[in-house]
A and B are shown apart, each in its own frame.
Chain A
Amino acid sequence: MNAAPIERRRSRLAPRSSIGLTIVMIVLVLYTLVPLAYLLINSTKSQDDFFTSFGLSFGSSFNLFQNIGEVFSYNDGIYSRWFLNTLLYVVVSAGGATILAALGGYGIAKFRFKGRSAVFAVVLGAVAIPGTALALPTFLLFSSIGLVNTPWAIIIPSLVSPFGLYLMWTYASEAVPSEILEAARIDGAGEFRTFFTVSIRLLAPGLVTVLLFSIVTTWNNYFLPLIMLSDPKWYPLTLGLAQWNAQSTGTNADPIQNLIITGSLLAIIPLVIVFLLLQRYWQSGLAAGSVKA
């Protein structure tokens, strides 16, 4: 008696509300996509067309490949240097941060040791410390020991991800059953061997999530390099693009908006590809992290 009216109401409601929802979503998607469309369209324009044509229409010529060539040749090809720097920072920092967070999170989740709760409290407390509040004192500290204006000034602070450790802790508590560790211990396997042969496979979705978010953080980092680096040859892409932008306004300006736009587009593509390829992993990893919160 109950089921019938529910069924009927569902089938009556579903198509109507889906049109309303679809319209809402289309508005949100348009808002999201217009700036990206702007970037894509304007990367095909010459510098002259950029100034004379409407922002969301194409210019008189299709200049995309010429712009890409110019991006890589401008200023003795400094853009490729920035690209390689960014890759270096990302591989070392994000890779290192993920390994450190995985080991630490796993240690807190799977072992009972003296001081464990103190470690946990200190690390969680650090999540609330604003990164930028730390950057200035870190600069002063690093400049007193001569690390400023070297890649280490970017890599070392990026190796620590309290949030990554938190995510790995929640993930390891759920994904690695203690019985498996017990069994490995009885078989005489060392703890690190167990970690690298057994646990790491169970941790994979959590690892991918932490790795991806560390990659994004490092790839997008601007404040830390801005403070730490004065030599453009160590700049990451973000700082390099910001510098191109600064030099194309004001007096003595060298207007290279077409290069900034094309360079920006090229800086986005790798991350978008990584996210699209790995979406199944990071979304399930985030789901595990959000349960405990």
Chain B
Amino acid sequence: MAVLVASGSKAPARPRRRPVVSSGWAFVIPFLVFFAIAILAPVVYAIYLSLFRDQLVGGSSFVGLANYGQALTDPDFWFGVGRVFGFMIIQVPIMLVFSLIAALAIDSGRLRAPGFYRILLFLPYAVPGVVAVLIWGFIYGPRFGLVGSINSFLGAQIFTPLTPEWVLGSIANIAVWEFAGYNMVIFYAALRTVPNELYEAASLDGAGAFRTILSIKLPALRGALVITTIFSIIGSFQLFNEPNLLKPIAPNAITSTFTPNLYAYNLAFTGQQYNYSATIAIVMGLLTAVIAYVVQLRGTRKELR
């Protein structure tokens, strides 16, 4: 890029420089047009909606930040936030450790047919989330599912994945199953970029396998770890598909306010409370962005050290 600027400013190239500059915009504008329609406009509209309230008499009226005040003191909302936060703290580390072990093992060169493991572990990512939840829902089924068969074989209710105590863990299991292989591929791709000379130098210094992992592989994975952690956090805070699809078979365990997203959805589509629903969506968006930003700051700060 530096080359481009330097040569562009040379005297003979001057007449050519202007078209180059404007065509930069020409390349970006098609994306920006759809970006404005599909992302900017809804965000602005949501903010606008969050400042109004439908009154019983007199239609919609401006209420300032009153909806935000309501959200901040809404126990249903905060229970949901607490639930996805608890989910995140348990599910994300388990999944990333799974992905990390698999990526390191495949990269170690000590497995026969590593490509075979790589593609098998990745397969669930190609399965639509809806289908993944349907399959696991059948497996969890207490009456006709796999869990049901095992329980009746054992003659006792040993496994109860759809009870209020276990349902969050059952959802976490589905999420681990869906995304561990995807994260593994990202880690593996990052490991492949480590230059071979580094490994040679380490082995000349007498470093064993674990030393190499600690001193070379994990530092090389830092960027990928930050990215996968951020995306997993965003995913946890957006939790919707799994609880919404399991709800019919676990009606006692999953309420309409189970996660903030489910809450916002039900507010809008069964309660017709669009203004408050938009407010919840914005608060969740802000919370997610703040947490993702903190993770990124921490991740990059370590990198600078």
A residues touching B (Cβ–Cβ < 8 Å)?
2, 5-6, 9, 13-14, 17-18, 21-22, 24-25, 28-29, 31-33, 35-36, 38-39, 42, 50-51, 54-56, 99-101, 103-104, 106-116, 119, 122-123, 126, 128-134, 136-141, 156-157, 159-160, 162, 165, 173, 178-179, 181-182, 185, 190-192, 195, 216, 219-220, 222-223, 226-227, 237-239, 241-242, 245-246, 249-250, 257, 260-261, 264, 267-268, 271-272, 274-276, 279, 283, 286-287, 289-293
**Are B110 and A21 within 8 A (Cβ)?**
yes
- Least Cβ distance of A110 to chain B in Å? 7
B residues touching A (Cβ–Cβ < 8 Å)?
1, 3-5, 7-8, 16, 19-28, 30-32, 34-35, 37-39, 41-43, 45-46, 49, 98, 101-102, 105-106, 108, 110-112, 117, 119-132, 134-139, 144-146, 149, 177, 180-181, 185-186, 188-190, 192-193, 203-204, 206, 208-209, 223-224, 226-227, 230, 234, 237-238, 240-241, 244-245, 248-249, 261, 264-265, 268-269, 274, 277-278, 281-282, 284-285, 288-289, 292-293
Contact of B248 among A32, A104, A133, A245 (CB under 8 A): A245
**Are B177 and A31 within 8 A (Cβ)?**
yes
Nearest-neighbor residue (CB-CB) of A191 within chain B: B23
**Are A35 and B136 within 8 A (Cβ)?**
yes
**Are B135 and A39 within 8 A (Cβ)?**
yes
**Are B28 and A107 within 8 A (Cβ)?**
yes
Which 5 pairs between the two chains have the least Cβ-Cβ distance? Answer: A107-B27, A111-B24, A104-B31, A137-B46, A113-B24
**Are A136 and B4 within 8 A (Cβ)?**
no
- Least Cβ distance of A122 to chain B in Å? 8
Residues of A within 8 A of B30 (CB): 99-100, 103-104
**Are A107 and B98 within 8 A (Cβ)?**
no
A13-B209, A17-B209, A268-B131 given as contacts; is B144 within 8 A of A136 (CB)? no
**Are B131 and A50 within 8 A (Cβ)?**
no
A128-B230, A137-B278, A138-B42 given as contacts; is B131 within 8 A of A179 (CB)? no
What would 27 A/B residue contacts be, using CB atoms closer than 8 Å? A18-B111, A32-B181, A33-B123, A55-B138, A55-B146, A101-B31, A104-B28, A109-B1, A113-B22, A122-B35, A128-B234, A128-B288, A129-B43, A129-B285, A130-B234, A130-B237, A134-B281, A137-B46, A140-B45, A140-B278, A157-B38, A159-B34, A160-B31, A165-B31, A287-B190, A291-B223, A293-B226
Q: Is the interface of A mostly helix, strand, loop or mixed?
A: helix
Give the docked Cα–Cα distance between A134 and B19 (Å).
36
**Are B189 and A112 within 8 A (Cβ)?**
no
Give the docked Cα–Cα distance between A42 and B289 (Å).
42
- Least Cβ distance of B227 to chain A in Å? 4
- Least Cβ distance of A227 to chain B in Å? 8
Residues of A within 8 A of B190 (CB): 287, 290-291, 293
- Least Cβ distance of A212 to chain B in Å? 10
Residues of B within 8 A of A32 (CB): 120-121, 123-124, 177, 180-181
**Are A246 and B1 within 8 A (Cβ)?**
no
Residues of B within 8 A of A13 (CB): 208-209
Residues of A within 8 A of B189 (CB): 283, 286-287, 289-290
Having A112-B8, A293-B227, one finds 16 other A-B pairs with CB under 8 Å, namely A2-B206, A6-B204, A35-B132, A119-B32, A126-B35, A130-B238, A132-B281, A133-B238, A133-B282, A134-B43, A139-B268, A140-B46, A156-B37, A178-B1, A191-B19, A293-B226
**Are B130 and A136 within 8 A (Cβ)?**
no
Contact of A245 among B134, B192, B203 (CB under 8 A): B134
Give the docked Cα–Cα distance between A181 and B27 (Å).
15
Give the docked Cα–Cα distance between A163 and B268 (Å).
28
- Least Cβ distance of A240 to chain B in Å? 9
Give the docked Cα–Cα distance between A119 and B202 (Å).
42
**Are B24 and A116 within 8 A (Cβ)?**
yes
Give the docked Cα–Cα distance between A278 and B200 (Å).
32
Residues of B within 8 A of A9 (CB): 208
**Are A133 and B126 within 8 A (Cβ)?**
no
Nearest-neighbor residue (CB-CB) of B31 within chain A: A104
Residues of A within 8 A of B7 (CB): 182
Give the docked Cα–Cα distance between A9 and B238 (Å).
48
Contact of B138 among A38, A137, A192, A290 (CB under 8 A): A38
